[in-house]
Amino acid sequence: MKKLLLILFILEVCTTGCTKKVSFGAKGEFYEIGKTSEGRIVYSSINKITYLDEHQKERNLLQDLKRNKISIDELIKKMDVLDAANDGGSVFFESNDKLAKTKFYVAYCNSLPGNGGIKDIFITEDKDQTYKLCMIDYIE
């Protein structure tokens, strides 16, 4: 009986929150959240992020992204533009009080091949790191 409960617990945890952990050297470790319809991979350095949905109810952002309850495009429409890079089109966003109680940032990378050709999306709580995530010299 204990083995059955353990197996059920493991299955429940993995179907609701198992993520692949990826190391990018100096960039740090990130959890792979999933892919967009364009094939961009979404990573997060934060294991759990709480955001406010359209009903102002607190929800787990990473789980909702994985389960397609919110898309990365819907998320960034609710965020404030922080900055843009002169690398081909990378844009950086920050959460606001309407979206979350805790600050987090999104680096929507779109650099040209000469600048690394990075097309991934990164969610982090480190504002300074956000600017470096789309740069090739920051990836090892």
Nearest to 103 by CA among 114, 93, 94: 94
Could you count the other beta carbons within 10 Å of the beta carbon of residue 37?
Answer: 8
Torsion sign (Cα): 59, 71, 79, 113: positive
Residue ranges in the chain assigned as alpha helix (H): 2-17, 61-66, 72-77, 127-132
* Reported pTM: 0.81
* 134, 90 Cβ separation under 8 angstroms: yes
Mean pLDDT by 10 residues, the chain (140 residues): 38 48 78 91 93 93 93 95 92 96 95 88 93 70
Q: Residue 137: its pLDDT value, please? A: 60
In this structure, the chain runs to a length of 140
Q: Residue 88: its pLDDT value, please? A: 86
Cα–Cα distance measured from residue 125 to residue 82, given in angstroms and rounded to the nearest whole number: 13
